[in-house]
Amino acid sequence: MKLPLKITVNGQTYEHQVEPRLLLVQYLREVLGLTGTHVGCDTSSCGACTIILDGQAVKSCTVLAVQADGAEITTIEGLARNGELDPIQQGFHVEHGLQCGFCTPGMIMSAWQLLERNSTPSDAQIRQALEGNYCRCTGYENIVKAVKYAAQKR
């Protein structure tokens, strides 16, 4: 049995019939081919699969695709506009906020939501906003610098 799904991702509307147990992260990666959203832990601990769902940063491995029916989603691929990186993406590049890059999409999406809500966050607020996103490489210092860079550029 498949269920209908109508969803807007990065400004484009899609309609598919999907299995009821298909995770949103699987839908994004396997059906739409948006592989910037990473699958890290399969337990909702790492945050690599973070997306923006109706304005809220969520871990897409915790949402069934059918639960997102009618929703508007932004993934890492949807942040850049007209070939120009979003300030948060620029910040990660300029401030060397990544090493292996696996956690980066989730970090960027969580940071993007923070900056939507707080245009001048403190270091402590940045760290709190990124609590659900694990990075095993960077030690977070340059990630915090990247978010501060983006805050200044916005």
Q: What is the pLDDT of residues 57-99, one digit of tens each?
A: 999 999 999 999 999 999 999 999 999 999 999 999 999 999 9
CATH of the domain at 117: 1.10.150.120
Question: Other CB atoms closer than 10 Å to residue 60's CB: what's the count?
Answer: 28
Mean pLDDT of the chain: 95
Same domain, 71 and 18: yes
Cα–Cα distance for residue pair 9/85, rounded to 1 Å: 18
Last residue of a domain, one of 52, 78, 104: 78
pLDDT digits (tens, 9 = 90+) for 18-39: 999 999 999 999 999 999 999 9
Average pLDDT, stretch 108-115? Answer: 97
In total, how many domains does the chain have? 2
Residue 99 tokens read as 């090493």
Average pLDDT, stretch 36-61? Answer: 93
Check whether 14 has a pLDDT greater than 90: yes
What is the percent of the chain with per-residue pLDDT over 90, rounded to a whole number?
A: 88
Same domain, 29 and 96: no
Same domain, 73 and 36: yes
Domain that holds residue 41: 3-78
| Best CA proximity match to 154, nearest among 112, 126, 124 | 112
Which residue intervals of 43-140 are DSSP H helices?
87-94, 104-117, 123-129
pLDDT of the residue at 139: 82
Last residue of a domain, one of 33, 54, 78: 78
Same domain, 10 and 72: yes
